[in-house]
Amino acid sequence: MITPPLTSPSEVVTNLVGALFVIPIIFGIFIKAPKLVIFGFIGVLFCFSDSTWGELQTSSNIYSRGVGMFYFSLLNLVLITAAVAALIKRLANPAGQPVAPQMNKYFLAFFFLMLGHVVVGLMSGIDLDVILGYGGMLNLLNMMLFMYLVIVAFESDKDVKLLLFTVIALAMARAIFGAIRYFVFDGDSANPYRNFEGLDIKIFFFDISDNYVAALAAFVAAWLLTTPTLRISLFWKVFLLGLLALEIAAVALSFRRSSLIGMALMFVFLFLNLPGRRKIFFAMLAAVALASVAGVFFEQRLQFNTSGGILESLIYDISPGRGGIKDGRFYELYAAAQSMEGHWLFGRGTWGTFYGDFGRLEYHGSNFGFVHSGFGHIVLKAGIVGLVLFVAFLGAFIRYYFKNRKYLTGTALLVADAGFAGFLFWIPTLLIGTPIIEFRTMLLFGFTIAMPFVGVAMQGYQYRRYVAAPQYAPTGQLDARPA
């Protein structure tokens, strides 16, 4: 979550000068070589944490630069600039391939919904910076913009393979950094379990986005190891097994239940798509990994929550013994629902808050402008209308993936599968986390949604280059065009 830092005069001048020089450069670079800008974003998103919750002393980070001076952070301004450049480039070539037309109506719907909130908010005397704050719905639009930019930037075989290589390299570098910090030093400084709850544990990564990066790399490694059509050397098998173990350890030692459940969903999806014989080997390997992860997870964190078993520990704050919805973890959602009277259709506005028992909501501090549920947050801000639009957007993504998967092979299939698996990872966070208010999280979610579109575009590129011109087609090329 981005909060405006206190900005000194020197920082104001630095940010202004930086914006005046960098933004036009970004515009020009995206027009000429869009993938360079997107690689820059991916480098930042994969390598820099956004979470400050759990730190004893909160400080600004790369995602909050410029917020004290502009309505948006500098990174957000770069994102908007790149999106404008992409639009101009598209208008200059209207005959080109359409960019994710299945999603356009949802982007326009959210844009006009946001515009309506701006109009109503200004008429109600709400400041524009509050209406457009990151605690509202702005990151839904940021997510969709980044999704479009990723789709536009990558199409050819070479570009997509470079994208996969970059994802693996950055995820491995990030995991090595986390491992050194965990095993040699004191782990992540953003550690609410130790700093706020007094639990004597270290954590690998607290930011859910770091867990996503690790889980995504683990999925890609497992996909490459188990796909029946790929033959890899012993060296690469050992490398991928090491990468898989490192990334699973990064998620397990972060002690985030939503991350573990999300990663489990990713690997269940991979298991279901394997042929029969490979399912047996994968199930045995997964059982060993699951037993190890569950044992470490229970010993290091969940032992502090209950004297029962692992299952009881996992649901210690939502179990029936907690007294029902009014007394368990979901009291926050209950309180938010009680605050929605008369606002169910369009929500309480991007600036809206809820109210409840301040004692039981002490962990919120003084900020009641969000709830621990992505879906619930959308209802709070944009009502049933916003929730229906978002669910329809996700439904369009799921339909697109399953409609086109049967046409994909090789790298295109890996990219698409990784995107859908990443979507499965985010489901627990959408249910019980706070993704909508987090800039980094929502851009990575947009990256996830874009990946199947990138895979299909790559297959289409191969079709146009090889099948449509068979005299240049190498042996074993495609014989079907994606729908």
Query: Which residues 6+ apart lie within 8 Å of 9 measured at CB?
Result: none
Q: Specify the pLDDT at position 89.
A: 85
Tell me which residue of 346, 340, 352 sits closest to 130, measured CA to CA: 352
Tell me which residue of 143, 141, 162 sits closest to 153, measured CA to CA: 162
pLDDT tens digits, 150-184: 999 998 889 999 999 999 999 999 999 999 999 99
With bands split at pLDDT 50, 70 and 90, how would you rate the model's confidence at 300?
A: low
Q: Specify the pLDDT at position 475.
A: 42
Query: Which residues 6+ apart lie within 8 Å of 179 measured at CB?
Result: 204, 246, 249, 250
Tell me which residue of 331, 345, 427, 430 sits closest to 380, measured CA to CA: 345
pLDDT tens digits, 220-258: 999 998 887 778 888 998 999 999 999 999 998 888 889
Mean pLDDT over 41-45 rounds to 95
Q: Which of 188-197, 240-249, 294-303 has the lowest mean pLDDT?
A: 294-303
AA letter at 261: I
With bands split at pLDDT 50, 70 and 90, how would you rate the model's confidence at 6?
A: very low
- Alpha-carbon gap, residue 400 to 451, rounded angstroms: 11
With bands split at pLDDT 50, 70 and 90, how would you rate the model's confidence at 207?
A: very high
The full DSSP string for 116-130 is: HHHHHHHHTT--HHH
Name the phi and psi angles at 249, rounded to 5: -65, -40
Mean pLDDT over 443-467 rounds to 85
- Alpha-carbon gap, residue 210 to 247, rounded angstroms: 10
- What percent of the chain clears pLDDT 70, i.e. is strictly above it? 81
pTM of the predicted structure, to 2 decimals: 0.88
- Alpha-carbon gap, residue 63 to 1, rounded angstroms: 9
Q: What angle do CA 363, 365, 371 make, to 5 degrees?
A: 65
Spatial contact of 33 and 93, defined as CB atoms under 8 Å apart: no
Q: What 8-state DSSP symbol labels residue 422? A: H
- Alpha-carbon gap, residue 95 to 100, rounded angstroms: 15
Q: Is residue 482 predicted with pLDDT exceeding 50?
A: no
The full DSSP string for 305-320 is: T-SS-HHHHHTTTTSG
Q: Specify the pLDDT at position 39.
A: 95
Q: Is residue 320 predicted with pLDDT exceeding 50?
A: no
Place of tokens 């990872």: 425
Q: Is residue 122 predicted with pLDDT exceeding 70?
A: yes
AA letter at 31: I
Spatial contact of 482 and 463, defined as CB atoms under 8 Å apart: yes
In the chain, where the domains are located: 103-309+368-472
- Alpha-carbon gap, residue 206 to 190, rounded angstroms: 6
pLDDT tens digits, 252-290: 888 888 998 999 999 999 988 887 777 777 777 777 777
Compute the mean pLDDT over every residue in the chain, rounded to the nearest whole number: 83
Q: How many helices (H) and strands (E) does the chain have?
A: 17, 0
- Alpha-carbon gap, residue 354 to 369, rounded angstroms: 7
pLDDT tens digits, 54-90: 677 767 788 888 776 677 888 998 899 999 998 888 8
CA distances for 18 relative to 24, 48, 64, angstroms: 10, 20, 14
Q: Specify the pLDDT at position 440.
A: 95
Spatial contact of 170 and 47, defined as CB atoms under 8 Å apart: yes
